[in-house]
Amino acid sequence: MSSVLVIGGGAAGLVASAFAASGGAEVTLIERTADGGRKILISGGGRCNVLPSMLAPERFVTDSPAHLLRGMLRSWPLHEQRAFFERDLAIPLALEAESGKLFPQSNRAKDIRDGLVAFARRRGVRMLFNTSVIGIQRAAAGFSLQTGGGDLHAERVVLATGGLSVPATGSDGTGLTVAAGLGHRMVPVYPALTPLLGDPVAGHAALSGVSLNVRLRAKDGTRAVETSGGFLFTHRGYSGPSVLDISHVRTRPGRAESGRTIRAQWSALNAAAWELEFDAPSALIATLLAKHLPARLGERLMIEAGVPRERRTSDLRRTERLALIDRLTSYILPVSGDEGYKKAEVTGGGVALDEVEPRTLESRRCPGLYFCGEILDAFGPIGGHNFAWAWATGRAAGAAAGASP
């Protein structure tokens, strides 16, 4: 019987340990927190968005070859992942039609975390909580780990330690340090899916609390990025799904400042549609704007465009019309920074995907070492995609590590 140590008891690690044990290996899971799965517990506002209803590999971000990402992501199809939760964990999932997300019918994230822990234990996984990894070395017959609870030895190791995002859940970058120390090529890490900070000079703090659906556009290198959905003005800047999904254009290393501009279209109306709106006979501009976006935002855009508050369509000057339409459809979002790892939902960068075997996720540099989840150089949009990545890579790495020699 082979022996496997899984380091990290989050989404990917819990799945990896269960599938390693299902292959007949003697598996020990090491987790630094008291109960594991802390990100599962806080996801989806405590509901846990387990999966998306449809997978969008093209919306994932990586500096590694995209075909490797697609293959890893599709190694465990969505319908099989859903069947795993509903059949093996006995947790029915329900589709939220409006968002296209799958949640547990109970709407309790704790059911997902506890279900994964119980499933792994039924497979024979030994769990060591409140245990930190101090060091890891190659040994004659596998690996030697130094932990806060003593030394451990195993033939194979699965690194499922996550990255640096939401450190309060136990993420401390241990796995990234280990991977780099063992010679793996690392893509520089950065906070991703994180709120952005506004420029204080812009005066947007007065819009705090205003929310609406928007379309955001930017360039990520040569690639056009577009997101849509909820947008929230905060007292510090901007948040909401559309902002989180595009935040990497600001946080990703190695991007020129000129290519980091984010433009907002504040409503469903494009420039041509707004031209028609402003052709209305003798209507108040503020009233027209209020039909399509929050009044406070409309008033702010009028001020920035130099349009007097009482201006009517019949008196709207051409220069005012063009300036207002530009701000309504191609507004340059004044961003001064980001909220960092503290509020980032995931970590961008990590172990380059071509450093591992695509099917097994075993290291090409260190045989017997496997990677899964957030430690790898890939992340997707919010809405369950990153859990789909964690489940798929966790299963692949665990099954390979637990297979008989």
Q: What pLDDT score does 237 carry?
A: 97
Q: What is the pLDDT of residues 370-405, one digit of tens each?
A: 999 999 999 999 999 999 999 999 999 999 999 977
Cα 100–35–169 angle (5° rounding)? 60
Residue type, 203: G
Q: Look at residue 247 in the predicted model and tell me its pLDDT.
A: 97
Question: The tokens of 252 are what?
Answer: 């990703």
Mean pLDDT in residue range 164-178: 93
Class for domain 195-262+333-338, per CATH?
A: mainly beta
The string of pLDDT tens digits covering residues 27-74 is 999 999 999 999 999 999 999 999 999 999 999 999 999 999 999 999
Report how far residue 390's alpha carbon sits from residue 404's, in angstroms, rounded to the nearest whole number.
23
pLDDT at 366: 96
Q: Are strands 3-7 and 26-30 parallel, antiparallel or unpaired?
A: parallel
Annotated domain spans of the chain: 3-191+345-402, 195-262+333-338, 271-331
**Cβ-proximal residues to 146 (8 Å cutoff; 6+ apart), any chain:** 133, 134, 135, 136
Looking at per-residue pLDDT, the higher value among 202 and 257 belongs to: 202
168-177, 247-256, 350-359, 366-375 — which is least confidently predicted? 247-256
Backbone angles phi, psi at 52, to 5 degrees: -85, 160
Does 293 have pLDDT greater than 70? yes
pLDDT at 278: 95
Q: Percent of the chain beyond pLDDT 90?
A: 90
Position 257 scores a pLDDT of 66
Contact 379, 348 (CB under 8 A): yes
With a cut of 90, say whether residue 342 has pLDDT above it: yes
How confident is the prediction for the chain on average, in pLDDT? Answer: 95
Asked if 3-191+345-402 and 195-262+333-338 have one fold, the answer is no
Domain 3-191+345-402, CATH: 3.50.50.60
Q: How does residue 254 score in pLDDT terms, banded at 50, 70 and 90?
A: confident
Query: Does the pLDDT of residue 349 top 90, yes or no?
Result: yes
pLDDT at 258: 60
Mean pLDDT of 323-331: 98
- Residues 84-141 have pLDDT tens digits of 999 999 999 999 988 899 999 999 999 999 999 999 999 999 999 999 999 999 988 8
Q: What is the pLDDT of residue 404?
A: 78
Q: Rounded mean pLDDT of 148-156?
A: 94
Confidence of residue 248 (pLDDT cuts 50, 70, 90): very high
What pLDDT does residue 223 have?
Answer: 82
By the 10 Å C-beta count (0-12 exposed, 13-18 middle, 19+ buried), 20 is classed as buried
